[in-house]
C-alpha cells in the first residue's frame, strides 16, 4: 500500500536508521516503562548544551517523555569532566538533586572556569543544604561511569555536543548535532509517539526519570566540537 505525501515527508524528516548510525542504533532505547525518549549526549562546559537545555526540556514536558542524559565531556574542555563526576556524586543522593546540579552548572556556565568550579559546587551545596566532601570519588567509580558514557558515545559516532536523538523501541531519528531545532524536535517526538501506539501504563513507568527531567544560551563557541 502506498504512503501519503505527508507520511513520506515525515519519514524523510525522521531519517530512521541512518546508515552512519545503523550498526549501533539498537544501543539507544527508551528506559523501561517508556515507549519514547529523548537521548542527549552533552558536555557541561559546552555553550550549545546550555542553550539547548531549555529547548529539550520544553519539548519533553509538552509530550511527557523522559530525557536520558549521557556524559560526553570533550577533551579540550578543562572542567567538564570534573563537573560530570560531581553530577554523578549528587545523583547518589537523588536523581532530582543531580538534575538540579546539572541545570545549575549549565545556567551559570559563562561564569565558571577550572579555577573557580569548586566555588560553584560549594555554592550549590550550600543552597541545597548538602555537605561537599573534599573527595567526591575516592574509588574512581563515578569517573568510570562518566567514561562509560563517553565510550558509548564514541561507539555510535558522537563527536560534538550536544548530540540528540529521539528513540523508541523500534525507531531512532537522525541526530541533532550542536544546534537543536525545537519545532522539528517536537514534531519527531509527536510522530514517534503516534507510531508507537498507546503508551504503557503509568504504573510501569520508570521510577528514576520523571517525564521531561534530565538524569541532568549564549552564542555557540567554536570549541564545542
CB-side neighbour CA atoms (13 Å) of 217: 14
pLDDT in the model for residue 225: 52
pTM: 0.79
The per-residue pLDDT for 143 is 98
Confidence of residue 31 (pLDDT cuts 50, 70, 90): very high
For 122, the grid coordinates are: 560549594
Contact (Cβ atoms closer than 8 angstroms) between residue 69 and residue 56: no
Is residue 178 within 8 A of residue 162, CB to CB? The reply is yes
pLDDT, tens digit, 9 for 90 and up, residues 119-170? 999 999 999 999 999 999 999 999 999 999 999 999 999 999 999 999 999 9
Q: Is pLDDT of 7 > 60?
A: no
E strands, 124-186, are 163-168, 176-177
Tell me which residue has cell 525518549. Answer: 37
Amino acid at each position: 500500500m502506498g504512503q501519503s505525501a505527508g507520511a513520506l515527508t515525515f519519514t524523510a524528516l525522521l531519517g530512521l536508521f541512518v546508515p552512519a548510525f545503523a550498526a549501533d542504533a539498537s544501543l539507544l532505547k527508551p528506559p523501561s516503562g517508556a515507549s519514547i525518549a529523548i537521548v542527549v549526549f552533552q558536555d557541561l562546559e559546552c555553550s550549545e548544551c546550555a542553550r539547548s537545555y531549555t529547548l529539550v526540556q520544553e519539548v519533553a514536558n509538552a509530550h511527557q517523555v523522559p530525557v536520558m542524559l549521557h556524559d560526553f565531556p570533550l577533551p579540550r574542555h578543562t572542567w567538564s569532566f570534573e563537573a560530570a563526576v560531581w553530577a554523578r556524586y549528587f545523583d547518589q543522593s537523588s536523581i532530582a538533586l543531580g538534575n538540579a546540579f546539572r541545570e545549575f552548572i549549565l545556567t551559570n556556565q559563562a561564569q565558571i572556569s577550572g579555577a573557580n568550579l569548586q566555588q560553584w559546587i560549594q555554592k550549590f551545596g550550600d543552597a541545597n543544604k548538602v555537605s561537599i566532601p573534599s573527595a567526591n570519588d575516592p574509588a574512581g567509580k563515578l569517573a568510570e561511569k562518566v567514561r562509560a558514557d563517553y565510550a558509548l558515545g564514541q561507539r555510535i559516532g558522537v563527536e560534538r555536543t550536544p548530540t540528540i536523538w529521539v528513540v523508541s523501541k523500534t525507531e531512532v531519528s537522525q541526530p541533532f548535532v550542536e544546534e537543536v531545532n525545537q519545532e522539528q524536535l517536537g514534531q519527531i517526538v509527536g510522530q514517534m509517539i503516534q507510531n508507537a501506539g498507546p503508551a504503557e501504563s503509568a504504573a510501569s513507568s520508570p521510577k528514576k526519570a520523571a517525564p521531561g527531567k534530565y538524569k541532568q544560551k549564549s552564542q555557540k563557541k567554536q570549541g564545542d566540537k
